[in-house]
Amino acid sequence: MKKIIKLEFKEEYNLIHTFECGQIFRFESFDQGKIYYGPLEDRIIKITQISPNVLQIESNNEKDLKNLVNRFFRTQDDYFEMIKSISIDNIMQEIVRTCYGLHVIQQDKFECCIAYLLSQNSNIARIKKNLFDLSKLYGDEIEYDGYKFYLFPKRESLLNLDINDFEDLGFGYRSKYIYEFIQNYPKFLDEPISDFEEFNKKLLKIKGIGQKVADCIQMFAFGNLEVFIIDTWMKKFMLKNYYKETKKRLEKELRELGKKMFGKWAGYAQEFIFRYIRKYNKFI
Protein backbone atom coordinates (compact mmCIF):
# COMPACT_ATOMS: atom_id res chain seq x y z
CA MET A 1 0.00 0.00 0.00
CA LYS A 2 1.28 3.46 -0.91
CA LYS A 3 2.42 5.46 2.10
CA ILE A 4 0.69 8.81 2.46
CA ILE A 5 1.85 11.47 4.90
CA LYS A 6 -0.62 14.09 6.05
CA LEU A 7 0.77 17.29 7.49
CA GLU A 8 -1.82 19.07 9.59
CA PHE A 9 -0.88 22.63 10.50
CA LYS A 10 -2.55 24.78 13.14
CA GLU A 11 -2.39 27.64 10.66
CA GLU A 12 -3.21 27.88 6.97
CA TYR A 13 -0.68 26.53 4.50
CA ASN A 14 -1.03 28.21 1.12
CA LEU A 15 0.83 26.23 -1.54
CA ILE A 16 0.63 28.95 -4.19
CA HIS A 17 2.06 31.69 -1.96
CA THR A 18 4.75 29.30 -0.72
CA PHE A 19 5.92 27.86 -4.04
CA GLU A 20 5.40 30.97 -6.19
CA CYS A 21 7.13 33.53 -3.96
CA GLY A 22 10.55 33.04 -5.54
CA GLN A 23 12.29 31.01 -2.87
CA ILE A 24 12.38 27.66 -4.72
CA PHE A 25 12.52 27.00 -8.44
CA ARG A 26 11.75 23.42 -9.47
CA PHE A 27 8.26 22.64 -8.19
CA GLU A 28 5.54 22.48 -10.83
CA SER A 29 1.91 23.40 -10.26
CA PHE A 30 -1.07 21.28 -11.33
CA ASP A 31 -4.82 21.65 -10.84
CA GLN A 32 -4.67 25.44 -10.39
CA GLY A 33 -2.15 25.26 -7.57
CA LYS A 34 -3.84 22.53 -5.55
CA ILE A 35 -1.11 20.03 -6.43
CA TYR A 36 2.65 20.51 -6.73
CA TYR A 37 5.29 18.04 -7.86
CA GLY A 38 9.01 18.52 -7.33
CA PRO A 39 12.33 17.00 -6.27
CA LEU A 40 13.21 16.40 -2.63
CA GLU A 41 16.81 15.20 -2.51
CA ASP A 42 16.78 11.68 -4.07
CA ARG A 43 13.06 11.48 -4.88
CA ILE A 44 10.01 13.22 -6.29
CA ILE A 45 7.22 14.29 -3.98
CA LYS A 46 3.63 15.11 -4.77
CA ILE A 47 1.99 17.70 -2.53
CA THR A 48 -1.79 17.97 -2.50
CA GLN A 49 -3.75 20.70 -0.72
CA ILE A 50 -6.47 18.72 1.09
CA SER A 51 -7.83 21.66 3.08
CA PRO A 52 -6.51 25.12 4.02
CA ASN A 53 -4.34 23.64 6.77
CA VAL A 54 -3.72 20.06 5.60
CA LEU A 55 -1.20 18.85 3.02
CA GLN A 56 -0.98 15.31 1.69
CA ILE A 57 2.49 14.10 0.67
CA GLU A 58 3.24 11.12 -1.57
CA SER A 59 6.50 10.01 -3.18
CA ASN A 60 8.13 7.45 -5.44
CA ASN A 61 10.54 6.72 -2.56
CA GLU A 62 9.09 6.33 0.91
CA LYS A 63 12.33 5.68 2.81
CA ASP A 64 12.73 8.20 5.67
CA LEU A 65 10.06 10.31 3.95
CA LYS A 66 8.53 11.68 7.14
CA ASN A 67 11.81 13.15 8.42
CA LEU A 68 12.65 14.66 5.04
CA VAL A 69 9.18 16.17 4.75
CA ASN A 70 9.25 17.66 8.26
CA ARG A 71 12.60 19.32 7.55
CA PHE A 72 11.54 20.55 4.10
CA PHE A 73 8.29 22.09 5.37
CA ARG A 74 9.88 23.46 8.56
CA THR A 75 7.09 22.03 10.69
CA GLN A 76 8.87 23.25 13.83
CA ASP A 77 8.30 26.96 13.07
CA ASP A 78 5.93 28.80 15.42
CA TYR A 79 3.84 30.39 12.68
CA PHE A 80 1.52 32.36 14.97
CA GLU A 81 4.44 33.90 16.86
CA MET A 82 6.02 34.84 13.53
CA ILE A 83 2.83 36.46 12.21
CA LYS A 84 2.40 38.48 15.38
CA SER A 85 6.05 39.52 15.37
CA ILE A 86 6.20 40.82 11.78
CA SER A 87 2.81 42.60 11.81
CA ILE A 88 4.42 45.78 13.06
CA ASP A 89 2.27 48.43 11.33
CA ASN A 90 -0.57 48.94 8.83
CA ILE A 91 1.66 48.16 5.86
CA MET A 92 2.86 44.84 7.22
CA GLN A 93 -0.61 43.94 8.48
CA GLU A 94 -1.98 44.27 4.95
CA ILE A 95 0.90 42.26 3.50
CA VAL A 96 0.50 39.49 6.08
CA ARG A 97 -3.28 39.38 5.65
CA THR A 98 -2.98 39.15 1.86
CA CYS A 99 -0.19 36.55 1.77
CA TYR A 100 -1.24 34.57 4.84
CA GLY A 101 -0.30 30.93 4.54
CA LEU A 102 3.10 31.58 2.97
CA HIS A 103 5.79 29.40 4.55
CA VAL A 104 9.55 29.25 4.20
CA ILE A 105 10.93 26.01 2.73
CA GLN A 106 14.29 24.48 3.77
CA GLN A 107 16.05 23.21 0.67
CA ASP A 108 18.83 20.84 -0.31
CA LYS A 109 22.02 22.79 0.30
CA PHE A 110 23.95 21.83 -2.86
CA GLU A 111 21.08 22.62 -5.22
CA CYS A 112 20.26 25.80 -3.28
CA CYS A 113 23.84 27.06 -3.53
CA ILE A 114 23.91 26.46 -7.29
CA ALA A 115 20.48 28.05 -7.74
CA TYR A 116 21.43 31.26 -5.98
CA LEU A 117 24.83 31.48 -7.67
CA LEU A 118 22.77 31.44 -10.88
CA SER A 119 20.36 34.08 -9.55
CA GLN A 120 22.77 37.01 -9.94
CA ASN A 121 21.47 39.55 -12.45
CA SER A 122 18.87 37.04 -13.56
CA ASN A 123 15.15 36.42 -13.12
CA ILE A 124 12.99 33.58 -11.86
CA ALA A 125 12.08 32.26 -15.32
CA ARG A 126 15.72 32.11 -16.37
CA ILE A 127 16.85 30.50 -13.12
CA LYS A 128 14.17 27.83 -13.53
CA LYS A 129 15.31 27.13 -17.08
CA ASN A 130 18.99 26.97 -16.07
CA LEU A 131 18.27 24.48 -13.30
CA PHE A 132 15.94 22.39 -15.48
CA ASP A 133 18.49 22.16 -18.31
CA LEU A 134 21.29 21.19 -15.90
CA SER A 135 19.10 18.54 -14.26
CA LYS A 136 17.84 17.12 -17.54
CA LEU A 137 21.37 16.67 -18.87
CA TYR A 138 23.13 15.42 -15.76
CA GLY A 139 20.49 14.35 -13.23
CA ASP A 140 18.52 11.12 -12.93
CA GLU A 141 15.20 10.93 -14.75
CA ILE A 142 12.21 9.73 -12.72
CA GLU A 143 8.75 9.02 -14.05
CA TYR A 144 6.02 9.49 -11.49
CA ASP A 145 2.25 9.62 -11.98
CA GLY A 146 2.85 9.63 -15.73
CA TYR A 147 5.11 12.71 -15.67
CA LYS A 148 8.87 12.91 -16.22
CA PHE A 149 11.00 14.69 -13.65
CA TYR A 150 14.74 15.15 -13.18
CA LEU A 151 16.61 15.04 -9.91
CA PHE A 152 19.29 17.64 -9.35
CA PRO A 153 22.68 16.18 -10.30
CA LYS A 154 25.07 15.17 -7.56
CA ARG A 155 28.35 17.06 -7.37
CA GLU A 156 30.25 13.93 -8.43
CA SER A 157 28.45 13.84 -11.77
CA LEU A 158 29.45 17.45 -12.51
CA LEU A 159 33.16 17.25 -11.65
CA ASN A 160 34.23 16.41 -15.20
CA LEU A 161 32.49 19.44 -16.70
CA ASP A 162 34.44 22.55 -17.63
CA ILE A 163 33.41 26.19 -17.86
CA ASN A 164 32.40 25.81 -21.52
CA ASP A 165 29.85 23.15 -20.58
CA PHE A 166 28.13 25.60 -18.24
CA GLU A 167 28.31 28.37 -20.80
CA ASP A 168 26.58 26.05 -23.28
CA LEU A 169 23.72 25.81 -20.78
CA GLY A 170 23.30 29.58 -20.86
CA PHE A 171 24.88 30.33 -17.49
CA GLY A 172 26.90 33.22 -18.93
CA TYR A 173 29.49 34.85 -16.68
CA ARG A 174 28.12 32.77 -13.78
CA SER A 175 29.66 29.68 -15.40
CA LYS A 176 33.05 30.31 -13.81
CA TYR A 177 31.47 30.65 -10.37
CA ILE A 178 29.53 27.41 -10.77
CA TYR A 179 32.65 25.63 -12.02
CA GLU A 180 34.78 26.90 -9.12
CA PHE A 181 32.12 26.02 -6.56
CA ILE A 182 31.81 22.44 -7.83
CA GLN A 183 35.55 21.87 -8.16
CA ASN A 184 36.39 23.39 -4.79
CA TYR A 185 33.29 22.58 -2.78
CA PRO A 186 33.67 24.33 0.61
CA LYS A 187 33.91 21.70 3.34
CA PHE A 188 32.50 24.06 5.96
CA LEU A 189 29.07 23.72 4.29
CA ASP A 190 28.91 20.17 5.65
CA GLU A 191 29.95 21.11 9.17
CA PRO A 192 27.67 22.12 12.07
CA ILE A 193 27.03 25.87 12.31
CA SER A 194 27.65 27.43 15.71
CA ASP A 195 27.74 31.09 14.65
CA PHE A 196 25.91 32.45 11.61
CA GLU A 197 28.02 35.62 11.58
CA GLU A 198 31.15 33.54 11.09
CA PHE A 199 29.31 31.35 8.60
CA ASN A 200 28.34 34.46 6.65
CA LYS A 201 31.98 35.61 6.50
CA LYS A 202 33.02 32.23 5.09
CA LEU A 203 30.27 32.33 2.47
CA LEU A 204 31.42 35.76 1.31
CA LYS A 205 34.89 34.36 0.59
CA ILE A 206 33.46 32.02 -2.07
CA LYS A 207 33.87 33.36 -5.61
CA GLY A 208 30.60 34.72 -6.94
CA ILE A 209 28.88 35.08 -3.58
CA GLY A 210 27.97 38.57 -2.42
CA GLN A 211 25.76 39.46 0.54
CA LYS A 212 22.42 38.85 -1.19
CA VAL A 213 23.39 35.37 -2.37
CA ALA A 214 24.97 34.59 1.01
CA ASP A 215 21.72 35.55 2.77
CA CYS A 216 19.62 33.44 0.38
CA ILE A 217 21.83 30.41 1.01
CA GLN A 218 21.78 30.94 4.78
CA MET A 219 18.02 31.20 4.86
CA PHE A 220 16.81 28.65 2.33
CA ALA A 221 19.48 25.97 2.75
CA PHE A 222 20.56 26.38 6.37
CA GLY A 223 17.49 27.80 8.08
CA ASN A 224 18.79 31.15 9.29
CA LEU A 225 15.56 33.15 9.51
CA GLU A 226 17.27 36.26 10.89
CA VAL A 227 18.64 37.42 7.53
CA PHE A 228 16.87 40.16 5.59
CA ILE A 229 17.57 39.70 1.89
CA ILE A 230 17.95 42.91 -0.11
CA ASP A 231 17.49 42.90 -3.87
CA THR A 232 16.13 45.55 -6.26
CA TRP A 233 12.51 44.91 -5.24
CA MET A 234 13.21 45.01 -1.51
CA LYS A 235 15.35 48.13 -1.87
CA LYS A 236 12.44 49.95 -3.55
CA PHE A 237 10.06 48.83 -0.83
CA MET A 238 12.31 49.80 2.07
CA LEU A 239 13.24 53.19 0.59
CA LYS A 240 9.62 54.11 -0.02
CA ASN A 241 8.25 52.99 3.34
CA TYR A 242 10.95 52.82 6.00
CA TYR A 243 14.19 54.53 5.05
CA LYS A 244 14.07 58.05 3.66
CA GLU A 245 17.59 58.32 2.28
CA THR A 246 18.94 59.22 -1.14
CA LYS A 247 22.38 57.57 -1.22
CA LYS A 248 22.83 55.19 -4.12
CA ARG A 249 24.19 52.16 -2.28
CA LEU A 250 22.18 51.37 0.82
CA GLU A 251 22.02 47.58 0.79
CA LYS A 252 24.01 47.15 4.01
CA GLU A 253 21.95 49.72 5.90
CA LEU A 254 18.64 48.31 4.64
CA ARG A 255 19.69 44.76 5.52
CA GLU A 256 20.51 45.82 9.09
CA LEU A 257 17.33 47.87 9.39
CA GLY A 258 15.20 44.88 8.32
CA LYS A 259 16.92 42.66 10.87
CA LYS A 260 16.32 45.26 13.58
CA MET A 261 12.65 45.72 12.63
CA PHE A 262 11.72 42.04 12.46
CA GLY A 263 14.26 40.29 14.68
CA LYS A 264 14.43 36.51 14.53
CA TRP A 265 11.65 36.41 11.90
CA ALA A 266 13.28 38.90 9.49
CA GLY A 267 13.56 36.25 6.78
CA TYR A 268 9.87 35.49 6.93
CA ALA A 269 9.02 39.20 6.79
CA GLN A 270 11.17 39.59 3.69
CA GLU A 271 9.45 36.67 1.93
CA PHE A 272 5.99 38.08 2.70
CA ILE A 273 7.03 41.51 1.40
CA PHE A 274 8.70 40.10 -1.70
CA ARG A 275 5.67 38.01 -2.61
CA TYR A 276 3.27 40.91 -2.03
CA ILE A 277 5.08 43.65 -3.93
CA ARG A 278 5.83 41.44 -6.95
CA LYS A 279 2.30 40.06 -7.21
CA TYR A 280 0.29 43.17 -6.34
CA ASN A 281 2.74 45.96 -7.25
CA LYS A 282 1.91 48.02 -4.16
CA PHE A 283 4.03 49.87 -1.60
CA ILE A 284 6.86 50.35 -4.12
Query: Are residues 126 and 152 both part of a single domain?
Result: yes
Query: Are residues 131 and 212 both part of a single domain?
Result: yes
> How far out from the chain centre does Cα 98 lie?
20
Query: Are residues 98 and 230 both part of a single domain?
Result: yes
Query: Are residues 90 and 72 both part of a single domain?
Result: no
Q: 171 vs 128, 131, 157, 205, CA distance in Å?
A: 12, 10, 18, 21
Query: Are residues 202 and 117 both part of a single domain?
Result: yes
The pLDDT score that the predictor gives to residue 57 is 98
CA dihedral 29, 37, 41, 105 (to 10 degrees): 50
The pLDDT score that the predictor gives to residue 32 is 82
- pLDDT of 2 higher than 80: no
Lowest mean pLDDT among 2-11, 38-47, 256-265: 2-11
Query: Are residues 66 and 28 both part of a single domain?
Result: yes
CA 19 to CA 55: how far, in whole Å? Answer: 13
The pLDDT score that the predictor gives to residue 247 is 66
Query: Are residues 180 and 116 both part of a single domain?
Result: yes
Query: Are residues 61 and 38 both part of a single domain?
Result: yes
The pLDDT score that the predictor gives to residue 1 is 60
Query: Are residues 194 and 157 both part of a single domain?
Result: yes
With 0-12 / 13-18 / 19 or more C-beta atoms within 10 angstroms meaning exposed / middle / buried, residue 258 is buried
Query: Are residues 98 and 114 both part of a single domain?
Result: no
- The residue segments making up the domain with residue 83 are 78-102+223-284
Query: Are residues 114 and 210 both part of a single domain?
Result: yes
DSSP reduced 3-state for 48: strand
CA 154 to CA 167: how far, in whole Å? Answer: 19
Phi-psi region of 231 (alpha: psi -120 to 50; beta: other; left: phi over 0): beta
CATH of residue 44's domain is 3.30.310.260
Query: Are residues 189 and 117 both part of a single domain?
Result: yes
Nearest to 267 by CA among 219, 233, 209: 219
Per-residue pLDDT reduced to its tens digit, 142-161: 999 999 999 999 999 999 99
